[in-house]
Structure 1
């Protein structure tokens, strides 16, 4: 079995709904996303002969998807009053509305699903919200 990994990062703010503690307040992170792809055999033709995937292509896809979250306010759908959302948008803030609670666990799963949808053989995604704390999503085989 062969495995590659690459990583990307983004800056984003969020808060956790229904949470009792500091994270219920708006705060930001330098999120780090580490993506692992896994394959039983290597390519046999062309540029990707004897590779799982060209690193340049792997990095490009991961960085494109992670960049979609950069410098945004990550908001769980329904967690803010519509008037609040409208006010923030009027003030020029960029909100990324998400259909899940904005935890590192859910972000790791989200990135795995999006990257699988782009054809990457993803096996694992680590999502760090601080340099020492990360959540991991393992893709079922």
Structure 2
């Protein structure tokens, strides 16, 4: 049976600030992120299995990514918990805002690494995460490939 890659795309809105950065992104701002998740595996070859012919049901992949990423990061503000933004985070939280404190600079590059670890941990053993593409704007994105991280 052939090895196949399948991809599902997701969108979510998230704000962040890059503490210590020397450009405009040091300010709190938001993006309409597009996340492409590609997994690799062999289609199920058991004709009695309801998922026959699928590497993974797109709906099952959607459940994993929504639970681990989209439902958490959508309409949230992300700050590095090791910066003075923690003070702003507390003010926002106290006013009912959804704030996530992470232990990294919340750049697209670091977010895609975090997302890869979260998704890999939830995939069935028969599948591997092949790649992620996190598009921050129409012209800017970060990519993560399993083959680059062996």
TM-score with structure 1 setting the length: 0.90
Point out the more displaced range, 114-123 or 19-28. 114-123
In structure 2, distance between residues paired with 1:38 and 1:70: 26
Structure 2: 5+ residue stretches without partners: none
Deviations, residues 6-34 of structure 1 (Å, cap 9, x unaligned): 01111111011221011111111011111
Q: Give 2:79's aligned residue.
A: 75
Aligned residues: 140
Q: Give 1:60's aligned residue.
A: 63
Secondary structure of the corresponding residue to residue 30 of structure 1: strand
Secondary structure of the corresponding residue to residue 35 of structure 2: strand
Instruction: Answer whether contact 2:13 2:74 (CA < 8 A) is retained.
Output: yes
Q: 1:82 to 1:12 in 2, by over 3 A?
A: closer
* RMSD of aligned alpha carbons: 1.6
Are positions 1:32 and 2:34 aligned together? yes
Are positions 1:9 and 2:11 aligned together? yes
In structure 1, distance between residues paired with 2:90 and 2:66: 29
TM-score with structure 2 setting the length: 0.85
- Work out which of the residue numbers 89, 96, 113 in structure 2 matches 1:92: 96
